Structure formats: C-alpha cells, structure tokens
Amino acid sequence: MTSTTDKLADPVFAERYRAMSARDARFDGQFITGVHSTGIYCRPSCPAVTPKPGNVTFYLTAAAAHEAGLRACKRCLPDAVPGSPEWNVRDDLAARAMRLIADGEVEREGVPGLAKRLGYTPRHLGRVLTAELGAGPLALARAHRAQTARLLLAGTDLPITDVAFAAGFTSVRQFNETMAEVYHVTPGAIRASARRRPAAAHVEAGGAALTLRLPARAPFDGASLLGFLSARAVPGMETAGDGRTYSRALRLPHGPAVVRLALSGTPEAPAVECEAVLADVADLAPLVARVRRLLDLDADATAIDEALAADPALAPLVAARPGLRVPGAVDAEEIVFRALIGQQISVAAARTALSRLTEQLGDPIDLGGFTRLFPTAAAIAEHGREVLRGPAKRIDAIVGVAQALADGSLAIDVGESRDDLEKRLVALPGIGPWTAGYVALRVLGSPDILLTGDLALRQGAARLGLPAEPRALAAYGARWAPWRSYAGMHLWNAVAA
C-alpha cells in the first residue's frame, strides 16, 4: 500500500488533498474523493471530517469509485454538482467517449455502437477507458444512468417505474439493484429524503413535463449567454427572453422536445431552471447533457478568468463579465447550417434567412407552444435551392453539406476530435477555416479556438488597442491559450458593448 508520505509527494494528489481539506467548492465535479476507511466517496467540499491521506484515493469519475467498491455520500450528494470540465478541455479518446456516454450513446447503440462511432474495437476502448478513468464503458454508462435516476427521483414526481426506464435501465430489477449498490438506499428512500418542490413532473398533452435544476460552476455569466442565444432566436423554433430566459424546440433521439431555461440560484451557487416537455421521457439524459453543453455549465470559470485577466488588455472585460461562457449546441447539424448561412452577413440578416428556411422546411410540431423544428439535412438537400437566397456558390455549399450529412458521408457530433472535424469540413467546397472553427467551438465546446477571421472579433480587438490583422491577432492571442475561445467571446462582447 502506498504510504502517506509517498502520496503527498505526488503533486496532483497533494493539490487535490489541499482542495479537499479546504472544502473548496470550485473543485466539485472536477474530481471525487474516495474514503476507503468509511467506504464512501464525496465531493471535495463535503463538510465531513477531513480523512487522513492514507485513507484517500482521488477519482475522475463516479464509475471508478463504484468499481473500487465505494458508495455515494448521502450527506454531500457528489453527483449533484456541475460536471467535469475535463471532457471539453481534453480532446482524446477518453474525452470523446465521455461526451458520447453522457449523450446516451450506450443506451441507444450499446458498447459496440459506441466503439464503432469512435473508430475502435470495444476491447481497445475498454482498455483505454479503464486505464484513463478507472472504469470501462459499461461501468461509466451505468454510473450515468444512476445519476440521471437520482436526479429524477429527487426532482420529479414521476412514478418510480417510469424513472427506471427514463434513466436508461432495461428493467426495474436492474434499476433497484444498481441504486442500492451505488447509494445503499432504495429508490423510494432517495425520493422520500429529497428536498424538492411538489408536483415537479406531470404528463400533459404531447408529452411528459419536467422541471429540473441544473447546477452551474461559479462564476456564471448566464445573462450574456442567454442574450447571445436570444439575439439569434428563430421564430417558431425559439423564443427570445429578457436576458434571463430562453426557450426552444429541439429534436432528440426519440422525438421532439421543448425546453424553457431561466437563471436561478445565487452568485456563489448559480443554477439554471430547466422546464422541459418531452415526447418520450427516455430522452431526459441526452436533453440534460445537451442543455449543459449549450450553456457551458461545467466550464472551470475561475481558472479561465484568472488566466485571461493576466493580460492587462482583457482584465477590465473579465472584471466586468466574470464567468463568461462559450455557447454550445443542442443540435450539431443545425450549427453547421447556422454557420454557413451566417457567413459574411449580419446577425439580423442570418436570422431572417434561417426563419424562412425553418418555416418552409422545418418539421411541424405542436408542443409547448412551438410550431417548427429546425430542418433536417435531408430536407435542405432536397428543397434547399427552392428556399435559400444569395450567391449561387453559397447555396451550392449549403446544399452540398446537406447532401453529405444526409447520405452519411459527413458526420458531426460530440464524439469527434477537433482536428478531424475541421479537416473534414474544410475539405468540402465552400467551407473555410472560420466556418470549421465556429462549428468546432459550438459543437465540441473546444476551449482554445480564436476565430481571427471574424470581423466582429477583430473589431473588438481594435477597440482594445490589440492587433486587428488576423495573423498578428493570432500571434498575440497565443498568450490566451488554452482559453482562446473565451477570449474571443470577450472580444465579441467588446463590440456589442
């Protein structure tokens, strides 16, 4: 067994042990504290007595703690925290797999489907994930199902049987056994002990309605983020809010859904209230994963702000907007078409073009007051030329990408690596580095993309007295790595201000 001295000599262990000893909530979700003397695992900020170093092992995932025979702490609920920012910062196989697992790929396609999507055999994928994260794909998916179930039990009044299948379990027996093993209590006991609002879920015409609270990592400038989304809202599919709310319809694996998002919580513990109407409650897990990515709720805002504020040019902007986020995506293909249509035109003009496209080609729905979903790639490939306006080359590019997406020769989702995604995109006619970079930024949540070809971003740089020429700005922006995406958001906001 590793001695206490040897453990503390490891700089990673020592740093995490200091954070845990200080009960620093900034590290909640970034790692998990396994306490072998008690057999439980906790979030770093757990108020329990600090364990001795020799009794502690730190894990990156709850699944790894489960595999080590530990159960979740009932006092601090370690899975009721923002997720790890690792899976956006990293772009390796483990990170790509974690993004897909959170999106429900294992529940839909199984481990073989997950491995095929990533381009590896199931055996190799299992070896890599076990070595990197301490658990294989089945264990990681099982932990994710348990966390989704606990969220439903604590935050809704759905029947327990419905919770089991909504979380992705294949049987009630499997659900009961997993919950007992992970939490050492029954699903009914989890519900009975939860502090929640009554009647947080019900069934209405068109689907199940749920209200969930999604924690964000502080600081969180949610108002700027929702303002960005609202300014680009497409009528019929999205509703612009007042800077604190935003609503939209979206397509999920089992059918359409509607979400209404509102800022809540406190500056120290920010959160987003998510009211959702689902055609199929089995889509809850991918919905939550996609909303968290859309709002960048898991970003390590403290580290980002500290790094960017070290540049005197950005320091005032960071001070004015602490916790600024990069908007993500709930539909990868939609972002591709938004980028292509929005090239070299104003936000208002792009919104008009997208509204016309959605009205004429989007699938009609009647759910939560919304009437359209964003058009599918197949619909744009077949009828796009009848609706799109502008230069012929641009229309050719949009329809060509739609055809590639529709026939499967181009795939875009959170399982991609940034380099592969950008290379495949720029290989298509009409797509340049700006479009490829913008898609990677929005779809993958890549934190280190500076779109130096963007006119508004260069205008923001000029206002700060920074180089505005693309190559010079790229050279200057190297000092902002690995957070250049967030620096770009500050530059955009400098123009808006």
Catalytic residue among 6, 24, 42, 305: 42
CA 77 to chain centre: 21
454 noted as active-site residue:
yes
Q: 199 falls in which pLDDT band (50, 70, 90)?
A: very low
Sign, Cα dihedral of 455, 460, 465, 470: negative
1.10.10.60, 2.60.40.3080, 3.60.15.10, 3.40.50.10320: which CATH number matches 86-155+157-193?
A: 1.10.10.60
Q: How far apart are CA 123 and CA 136, in angstroms?
A: 10
92 noted as active-site residue:
no
Q: 495 falls in which pLDDT band (50, 70, 90)?
A: confident
**Which has more pLDDT, 325 or 202?**
325
| 65-80 pLDDT per residue, tens | 999 999 999 888 888 7
201-297, superfamily in CATH?
DNA-3-methyladenine glycosylase AlkA, N-terminal domain (3.30.310.20)
Average pLDDT over residues 208-232: 92
| 80-121 pLDDT per residue, tens | 788 888 888 889 999 999 999 999 999 999 999 999 999 999
Burial of 172: CB neighbours in 10 Å, binned 0-12, 13-18, 19+: middle
**Which has more pLDDT, 242 or 109?**
109
* 385 in Cβ contact with 411 (< 8 Å): no
**Helix, strand, or coil (residue 163):** helix
Strand 201-204 to strand 255-265: parallel, antiparallel, or no bridges (unpaired)? unpaired
Own/partner pairs for 472-481, CB < 8 Å, 24+ apart? Answer: 474/450, 477/450, 477/452, 479/311, 480/307, 480/308, 480/311, 480/314, 480/450, 481/448
- Residue 257 has φ and ψ, to the nearest 5°, of -150, 160
Q: What is the reported pLDDT for 223?
A: 94
Domain boundaries, the chain: 4-62, 86-155+157-193, 201-297, 332-496
| 427-436 pLDDT per residue, tens | 999 899 999 9
Q: How far apart are CA 77 and CA 272, in angstroms?
A: 18
Backbone conformation region of residue 408, classed left if phi is above 0, alpha if psi is from -120 to 50, else beta: left
Q: Which of these ranges, 39-48, 157-166, 188-197, has the smallest mean pLDDT?
A: 188-197
Q: Do domains 201-297 and 332-496 have the same CATH topology?
A: no
Q: What is the reported pLDDT for 265?
A: 93
Q: How far apart are CA 445 and CA 459, in angstroms?
A: 23
Architecture in CATH for domain 4-62: 3-Layer(aba) Sandwich (3.40)
Q: What is the reported pLDDT for 428?
A: 95
Length of the chain: 497
DSSP 26: G
Q: What is the reported pLDDT for 374?
A: 98
Q: 198 falls in which pLDDT band (50, 70, 90)?
A: very low
Residue 205 has pLDDT above 50, yes or no: no
HSE value, Cβ hemisphere, 13 Å, CA-based, for 21: 10
Give the Å distances, CA to CA, from 401 to 328, 352, 404, 411.
20, 21, 5, 10
* 270 in Cβ contact with 187 (< 8 Å): no
Q: How far apart are CA 148 and CA 129, in angstroms?
A: 21
* 222 in Cβ contact with 238 (< 8 Å): no
Residue 201 has pLDDT above 80, yes or no: no
Give the Å distances, CA to CA, from 468 to 2, 295, 350.
54, 28, 24
Task: Give me the CATH code for the 332-496 domain, please.
Answer: 1.10.340.30
Catalytic residue among 79, 283, 300, 454: 454
Q: Which of 304, 329, 328, 327 is nearest to 317 (CA)?
A: 304
HSE value, Cβ hemisphere, 13 Å, CA-based, for 442: 22
Q: What is the reported pLDDT for 316?
A: 97
**Helix, strand, or coil (residue 193):** helix
| 346-375 pLDDT per residue, tens | 899 999 999 999 999 999 999 888 999 999
Q: Which residues lie closer than 8 Å to 326 by C-beta, 6 or more apart?
A: 296, 299, 441, 442, 445, 447, 485, 486, 489
Residue 423 has pLDDT above 50, yes or no: yes
Q: How far apart are CA 30 and CA 48, in angstroms?
A: 19
Cβ neighbours, 10 Å, residue 11: 8
Strand 207-215 to strand 270-278: parallel, antiparallel, or no bridges (unpaired)? antiparallel
* 42 in Cβ contact with 70 (< 8 Å): no
* N-terminal to C-terminal alpha carbon distance within the chain: 57
